[in-house]
Amino acid sequence: MVNLLGLDLDAMVARLDVLQEKRFRAIQLFRWIHRAGETDFSRMTDIARSLREKLQGSYEVRALPVLTEQCSADGTVKWLFDVGDGNAVETVYIPESDRGTLCVSSQAGCAVGCRFCSTGHQGFSRNLSTAEIVAQLWWAEHRLRARLNLGQGERAIDNIVMMGMGEPLQNFAAVVPALRIMLDDHAYGLSRRRVTVSTSGVVPMIDRLGQTCPVALAVSLHAPDDTLRDHLVPLNRKYPLGELMSACSRYLEVAPRDFITFEYCMLDGVNDSDDHARRLVALVRGQSPESGQTVPCKLNLIPFNPFPASGLRRSPKERVLAFARSLQAAGIVTTVRRTRGDDIDAACGQLAGEVLDRTDVGSRLARDVFPIPVVAAR
Ligand code: SAH
Ligand code: SF4
């Protein structure tokens, strides 16, 4: 069975072409699935019966099984989805006054292994398929529309950040069609400026993203020099800061926004001193030994969300604010991410998802601690 949630419009058109159906039929089908949230071909009333019969048996619209849905007092909602073989991934909805953001996962686990990230500590299980990535949005959008009593044409989610579990640029082939579905006017119709890929710095894939499907880009920096970044983000040994900053400059030539968002997780005594702030300014200004050019950017400071195995501590609030002030004094727009959904463990970097005991699904339900980044910059 082909899961239609995994097909972008071009792929849908190609599939229907094989069934000798015209492009407009593919558009109708695509709209039923993504706009109306319909899974049952027999209820797609304006689609010819002959096509519905051709679809039946070989094609389906298959959502992901929901293991848990948790709602925070602040309106944040977190879903834990079963992706089979003892793996689970998380998706978080964060309502804000002017928008609704969905934080989407791209992999079960992650191979990058950042020191401060609980997904990284879990190791890598597997890539999600396009259908599994889109299913997170499909489910959240239609579930929230019903729950929030939204009218025809209103949407719950107008901002997406690929900041859940996994490194999206290490699952490029599945992520790009998913981005196309998010952007497609016949599906979710999101603006390129409101779909953000967050990466730990997979340099060649930053270039490919720019060539294939430019959307907003967030880069997880966390350190102003290679020695420290090698330690915190092991991928830096392969793609050091100089190459990363050059890739950011190239990306800006095609990006829908005129800045890169740099994320910086604030770790007590590790990367949070005044000297680190000073060197960070030099880095993005192209004045550090490691960087060659100025990269127009915004800095997003994320207070570290601790988990036991990390052995790291969150920087004190005053330190985060002092760090933010020194960046601001140097003219860099800086925000401190507000943690949302604290009461349901929906905060950045506490990713759950992975299944703790592969033999016992129940244990996962009881212990859903995992890292989900929550973007609520002010
Ligand atoms: N792999 C991608 C996207 C997922 S992680 C990336 O690294 O960018 C999304 C964000 O959450 C990243 O900026 C990451 O550094 C941050 N993060 C991870 N663990 C964290 C933690 N324990 N506390 C705070 N932020 C964390
Ligand atoms: Fe992977 Fe991102 Fe976590 Fe690093 S921070 S281990 S890249 S999910």
The catalytic residue among 90, 132, 167, 290 is: 90
DSSP letter at 314 equals B
Q: Say yes or no: 170 and 258 in one domain.
A: yes
Q: Would the pLDDT of 378 be above 50?
A: no
| Mutation probe of ligand 1 site: the residue of 265, 271, 299 with most atoms within 8 A of C-beta | 265
- Write down which residue in 16, 32, 60 finishes a domain: 60
**Is 114 annotated in the active site?**
no
| In-domain check, residue 373 | no
Identify the pLDDT of residue 357.
38
Q: Which of 86-95, 210-219, 338-347 has the lowest mean pLDDT?
A: 338-347
Which ligand 2 atom is nearest residue 166's CA?
A: 8
Mark whether 288 and 320 lie in a shared domain.
yes
Q: Is the CB of 166 under 6 A from ligand 2?
A: yes
Q: Are residues 13 and 137 in the same domain?
A: no
Q: Is 95 in the pocket of ligand 1 (CB under 6 A)?
A: no
142 shares a domain with 47:
no
| Rounded-to-integer distance, Cα 374 and Cα 76, Å | 9
Same domain, residue pair 28 and 89: no
Atom number, ligand 1, closest to the C-alpha of residue 306 = 22
- Tell me how many domains the chain contains: 2
Domain membership of residue 377 (yes or no) is no
How far is residue 288's CA from residue 281's CA, in Å, rounded to a whole number? Answer: 9
pLDDT of residue 347: 66
Instruction: Transcribe 61-86 into DSSP letters.
Output: --PPPEEEEEE-TTS-EEEEEEEETT
Q: Are 72 and 93 in contact (CB under 8 A)?
A: no
Task: Please write the tens of the pLDDT for every residue from 109-144.
Answer: 999 999 999 899 989 999 999 999 999 999 999 999
Residue 343 pLDDT grade (very low, low, confident, very high; cuts 50, 70, 90): confident
Same domain, 21 and 112: no
- Whether pLDDT at 48 is above 50: yes
pLDDT band of 316, cuts 50, 70, 90:
very high
By residue range, what is the domain housing residue 25? 2-60
For residue 111, give the ligand 2 atom closest to its CA: 1
Among 34, 60, 86, give the residue marking a domain's end: 60
90 is catalytic: yes
Supply the mean pLDDT for the chain. Answer: 91
pLDDT at 286: 93
Q: What is the pLDDT of residues 209-241, one digit of tens each?
A: 999 999 999 999 999 999 999 999 999 999 999
What's the Cα-to-Cα distance from 306 to each of 45, 167, 231, 309, 312, rounded to whole Å? Answer: 51, 20, 18, 9, 7
Q: Do residues 21 and 134 share a domain? A: no
Q: Is the pLDDT of residue 168 over 90?
A: yes
For residue 162, the domain's CATH number is 3.20.20.70
pLDDT level of residue 362 (50, 70, 90 thresholds):
very low
Q: Find the 118 Cα to ligand 1 centroid distance in Å.
A: 9
The CA–CA distances, whole Å, from 36 to 23, 153, 182 equal 19, 10, 14
Show the tokens assigned to 220. 């997880």
Domain limit, last residue, from 18, 38, 60: 60
Nearest CA to ligand 2 atom 2: 167
125 and 219 both lie in a single domain: yes
